[in-house]
Amino acid sequence: MEPKDPPDQARLLRWRAEEELDDPIQHNQHLPPGKDLQWELWKTINRLRTGVARTRSNMVKWDFNNKEDDKCECGERQTDEHLLNCTMNPTQCTKNDLAQVNKNAIDTATHWLQYKI
C-alpha cells in the first residue's frame, strides 16, 4: 500500500500540474529609451510623459499652491500638455517624442528643468 500525500500537499501538486504551460512565456526585459540620461532629465521626461509633472496646475490640484496660481509665465494655464507647446519652450514636443525620448523630448525636458518642473 502506497502512502498518500496529505490533502494540502495533494492540492498544491494538482494546482501546479494544472498551471504548467506547454509553451511558457519568455521574459523579455530591457530598459526603456533614455536609460543613459542624467537622472534629473530622465525624471522630468517621465513626469511629462505620464502627466505628473510639477506644473502649476498639478500643484494646485495636489494642494501645494493657491487656486489662483496655476498660470504659466506666458499667461496660459500651466498643464502637462501646455508644457509641450508653450511659447516659452523653444522646442515643440509631442507625447510620441516623450515616449521615444528623442531630441525634442530631451530639449523640452532640459528647458523645463530650469523651472524645476
Q: What are the tens digits of pLDDT across the range 18-65?
A: 777 777 677 778 878 898 999 999 999 999 999 999 999 999 999 998
Give the DSSP H/E element, type plus range, for residue 92. none
Unique residue bearing C-alpha cell 501538486: 13
Per-residue DSSP letters for 35-90?
TTS-HHHHHHHHHHHHT----HHHHHHTTSS-TT--B-TTSSB--HHHHHH-TTSS
Strand partners, 77: 71
Please tell me which residue, 91 or 8, carries the higher pLDDT value.
91
Q: What is the pLDDT of residue 10?
A: 86
Q: Are the beta carbons of 105 and 42 closer than 8 angstroms?
A: no
> Is there a domain that residue 21 lies in?
no
Does the pTM surpass 0.75? The reply is: no
Confidence grade of residue 77 (pLDDT, cut at 50, 70, 90): very high
The grid coordinates of residue 12 equal 498544491
How far is 15 from 86, CA to CA, in rounded Å?
A: 56
> Is there a domain that residue 51 lies in?
no
> Is there a domain that residue 25 lies in?
no
- Domains in the chain, number: 1
Domain range for 101:
56-108
> Is there a domain that residue 94 lies in?
yes
- pLDDT above 90 covers what percent of the chain? 66
Query: 17 in helix, strand or coil?
Result: helix
